Every structure is written in structure tokens, then in C-alpha cells.
Structure 1
Amino acid sequence: MTTLAVTRGKAYFRLAKLDIVDYYLGVVVVWTLLAPMSRFDPGVLATVGVFLLGEVFVIAAMVALDDLTGYRDGSDITNYSPDDARRKRYRKPLVAGTLNEDQVLRFAWATGVVGAALWLTAIAIAPHSPLWTVVLIVVTYFFSLQYSWGVKLSYHGFQEFFIAALGWALVLAPYGLATGEFTGFALAQALLFGLGPLLFGVYSNTNDVDGDRRVGRPTVAALTSARGNMFFVIGVSAAELALILAVPALGGPWWFPLALVPTIVSRGWQLWLGFALGDILRARMLGIRIHRLTVLTLVLVNLVVIT
């Protein structure tokens, strides 16, 4: 393999953000939500596996189109300026010059088509295909590709909602295909899962506020004052806490909030780190770790409860 091919392969890997696995962890939560007899059922495993593979391609298309839009409007060039050593330019192949616009656009459409085919296959082979699940998958696919392209949801004030809603859908959809059910406990875990990416995304938006304002991308951080944005992030963190406390009423065990104490404590530290100490990017990185910790906790809780 030539050096050029290796370099190009790395560029596409970074374009697809394949090192950021946090949305993909949803299928692990789904698998542990299943009854023990279903966890190793061939049909269930095939369905969840194909859905996960489709998810990888759909998200690759979504983030590639987001990079292309961010490059064209100049926000990525501003946010990943050469003098900001903590924002790694090589993670943005267009900004780094390792891919051009045509290559990124072709990659986005190719991965989008493959992702659609895989999700249709998952629906076709699934043990269950309730209408709400099929509609959820179709809507998720459509709006994923419209996040920064086409209608550009993230440029019309829907960015924060979409980041969370994508996580909710990526738990509920495979769960519906595998079980045909919609339970309060599964819904609660889907909501918690979706808040994880949101609670590191809002710290990214806080850091990127100047670039987003310059191109008119209406994130909460860009639309409000620094103080208003801080209260928004505090509010989202409080909503996560309220949801954790409400899980026993939604079908979870009484001790569920105790199991999530590490998440609760870590959120407090994240807020202090980001807004009291002013280290937004460290708070963002901590948010990624908190999300993964929460997923691990959900998995362990499910393995204990669902037997």
C-alpha cells in the first residue's frame, strides 16, 4: 500500500469520526435491555448488528456533510485556527487540506446510500417491525442527512435538540426492532443515553461560539450571553439528574439513582471545570468520559435487573 493511499485512508477515517464511538454504544445498552433468551437469538443479533453497521454509515455521511458545510461557511476554519493548539486541525480533513470538497461530497453520498440500504435490511430481517419503529428510523435517517445539509437543521436553532434526539433514536429504534415493545425503562435509558452526547456537545458549542456567530449558526451559546449559556448547560445537567431520580417510577429498580451517583458527581465537576475554572475543552473531554461511564453503569444495571 502506497504512502498516499495510507494518508488518504486516514483522512477518510477522520472525516467519518470513527474514533468517536459514543453514539454506537447505544446498541450495547439495547442488548442488555433484552431478555436473556433474546440476547443470543440469531435473528436479534443479526438485526442489531446490521442496524449498528448502518448507523456507522449514516453518521459518517452526516458528519462528512457537516464538515463540508462548516468548511464552506468558514466556521471550521475559524474554530480550528492554526494558533489553537488544542483543536487538532488534522481532525478536519478539509481544513487540513488532506481531502478536497468533491472527495468529501462523494464520500457523504456513498456512505448515506449504504447506510440507508443497511437500515432497510435491518427492518426486513427484524423479529419485529412496529410502525413507530419504522417511522422513527426513516425520520432519523432523513434528519441526520439534513443536519447541516439541505434544510440545515443545525442552522435553524435545532442543533442541541438533534444531538440528544439522535441518541434517543439510536437506542429506541434497535430496541423496537428486537422486541417490538416500548417500555418506560427503555425510554428512560434512551433519554439518558441521548443526554450524554448533548452534555459534551454544549461545551464544544461554548468553545466555538465566535465561529458560529460569524456564520449565523444559532446554537444556544451563540444566541445568548455567556451567563445565559452557562444557565442553559446547568439546566440540561439538572434535567439529567431529574431523569435519573425518576427512573424508579418508570420501571427501573429503586436503587437506580444510587448506581448513577458517579455520573451525578462527575457532572458537578464538569460544570465547575467548564464555567468556574473556564477550561471548556477539558470539560468537553470529561463529558465524553462521563457518557461512557454512564453507558457502562446502564449496562451493569441491566445485567443485574433483567435476568
Structure 2
Amino acid sequence: MSYRIAVREPGSSGHGTLAAYARLAKLDIYDYYLGLVVVWALLAPALRWEPRTFGLLALTLLAEVVVVAAMVGFDDITGHRDGSDAANYGSDAARRRLARKPLVAGTLTEAQALRFSWTAAAAGAALWAAVVAAAPYRPAWAVVLAAVCVAASVQYSWGLKISYRGFQEVFLIGLGIGWTLVPYALLTGGATGFVVVQAVLFGSGPMLFGLYSNTSDADGDRAAGRITVATLVSAPAHRMFVAVMTGAQIVLIAAATAAGTAPRWFAAVMLPLVAMRVAHLLIGFRGDILRARRIAIHAHRVTVVLLVVAALVAGATS
């Protein structure tokens, strides 16, 4: 079956170009930004409602959005140059929405995308510097972690191209962990064990649904020289890897509860997440990778709701 893709000429309409830039920035994918809601819920009740808290979280959100815009902009440029986006999206346009790749769809030129990405990278670094400057606390580890997250994001598919060098899965979980721990530490001066557990559970969500994308993209990524676990091992071995990573999240929930790092009721609260994880794992094993990915995305968003509930209840009972 073939698909006929209707696209605008690059820059042919001001409205169309603005929409294309929004698609380049992937503004519809907000999953990393949800960590700030978890951070807010983890704060002490009095600190939660301070105007300064809302101001810092709003500035952090803006910094995250701009850095991600740079990251995915450079990623699209690299994917367009090496042909992996055309290979991964062109054959499945109806399900994967080719328009989300404006360079492949022809709604932006590479020069436009480059200007946008470099501008976003500079603005994102400046905004994160402003976040640190405005924070009531500046623990050294949090400042360093913030800088690492910015640098790694910009070089995800550009410069060092860490997602091409075998570090994609580490980055996907690491960014979510960093963007939970950093704002919490800047607001409070440190992080408890329960905060770290929540950060890891949050950060593992984008990694898990990213693994399904890697499964679907393995042939195109392999042809482009992009190293992921999916390109290095057989399909059955990668399914086992996904199962192990999914199981690790479930084990963390049980272990944190058993060890007392999380409240004794924490595992019970997280049971809906466990059910969704098992569901997308089984669907993925049966071969419907994109459906499994959609469920994994929803599972991540359910995780946020459950973590917020757990944090609010823990704060109210402490």
C-alpha cells in the first residue's frame, strides 16, 4: 500500500511555516515536562504554594521546552541527512504522521531548521543559567547535572551524536531523572531517597516507550549507523531487553516499598502502572510494536498521576 503525502512548499505560507516550526520542536510531545508536576507535589506543603516556587518552575518549564526544541531540531536534521527519517517514516506515514518530520515532508528547509536549532540551543542554555541564578539553593551536584542535561540534549544527535554512539537508552532515562532531581534540589537544597525513587520511575517512562520506537526503527537506524540495543541484537533478544527494563521498573517499586524508602502503601498505589506495563509488554511481544508504544506512552502519563498522588499523600501524612 502506498500513501500520497500532501505538503506545502517550504516557507510558502507564514502560517504554514510557524506550524512547521512547532512540529520541528515537537511541542505536542510533553512527557519530559510532566516531571515538574511531580517536583511540585514532592515539595513541602508550605513551599508548594510560594510564588517563588511557581516562578522558578515556570522558568524551568520554559528552559526545558527550548532545550528540547534544539535537541529534536538537530535530531531531525541529522535524520534527514542520513536518510533514517525517510526510511523510518516514509513507509508508515499513515500511522506515524509524516508531517511531524518537516524536513522529510518538505515544509521546512535544512537551513531554516539549522537556524532554529542553534537559536534554541543558545536560548536554552541562557534560560537554564537563569534558572540556577534565580534558585534559592544551588547544590553543586544539581548545577553540574543541569549543565550535563543541557549539553547532552544538544548533542543527542549533533556534535558528539551520543544517540548514535550507543548511549541513546541511557540518555532517555537520564534526562527524565535529571529534570526531576535538579529543580527539586534547586528549590529545597537536596533530595531524599523517596525523591530519587520517583525521579527514576519518571525517567524510565520515556526510555521504555523509546525502546518500542527503536524496535520499529531498527532497520533504518542500522543503515544510518545509529547504535541502539535494537540495532545490535536480534529481535528476540531486544524483546527480552525490553522485558528486563520493564521488569526493573516494577522491581524498583516493590524494593523501595519493602526497604522503607517509599511509604508502605506505595506499591499498592502503583498497581495500575504495573498492569499497564504488563499489557504493553505482552502486546509488544505479539508484534504490534506501535500499539505497544502508544500504551507505554499512556503508562508514563499514568505514572505521573500516581506519583503526584503518592507525593501529596506522603506529604500530608508525614
Cα offset for 1:43? 2.0
- Asked whether the 8 Å contact 1:48–1:178 carries over to 2, the reply is no
Aligned partner of 2:270 among 252, 260, 264: 260
Give the structure 2 partner of residue 94 of structure 1. 103
- 3-state SS of the aligned residue for 2:159? coil
Residue correspondence of structure 1 range 234-245 to structure 2 within 5 A: 234-245=243-254
- Asked whether the 8 Å contact 1:94–1:100 carries over to 2, the reply is yes
Unmatched 5+ stretches in structure 2:
1-10
Q: Letter of the 2:147 partner, please give it.
A: V
Unmatched 5+ stretches in structure 1:
none
Residues 1:251 and 2:266 aligned together = no
TM-score (norm 1): 0.97
Give the structure 1 partner of residue 303 of structure 2. 294
TM-score (norm 2): 0.94
Distance 2:96 2:142 in 1: 38
Cα offset for 1:251? 2.7
Q: Letter of the 2:271 partner, please give it.
A: V
Give the structure 2 partner of residue 269 of structure 1. 279
Aligned partner of 2:214 among 196, 200, 205: 205
Distance 1:3 1:66 in 2: 24
Aligned partner of 1:137 among 135, 146, 162: 146
Distance 2:162 2:12 in 1: 38
- 3-state SS of the aligned residue for 2:33? coil
State the percentage of identical aligned residues.
52
Distance 2:187 2:61 in 1: 13
Give the structure 2 partner of residue 23 of structure 1. 32
Report how many aligned residue pairs link the two structures: 305
Residue correspondence of structure 1 range 91-130 to structure 2 within 5 A: 91-130=100-139
Distance 1:57 1:77 in 2: 25
Aligned partner of 1:162 among 160, 171, 192: 171
Give the structure 1 partner of residue 202 of structure 2. 193
Structure 1's consecutive aligned runs of 4 or more residues displaced over 6 angstroms after TM superposition are none
Q: Deviations over 1:47-105 (max 9, x none)?
A: 12111110000011000000100110000010011554212110000000000101001
Cα offset for 1:44? 2.0
Distance 1:84 1:54 in 2: 31
Distance 2:45 2:195 in 1: 15
Q: Letter of the 2:160 partner, please give it.
A: V
- 3-state SS of the aligned residue for 1:306? helix
Q: Letter of the 1:85 partner, please give it.
A: A
| RMSD of Structure 2 on Structure 1 (CA) | 1.2
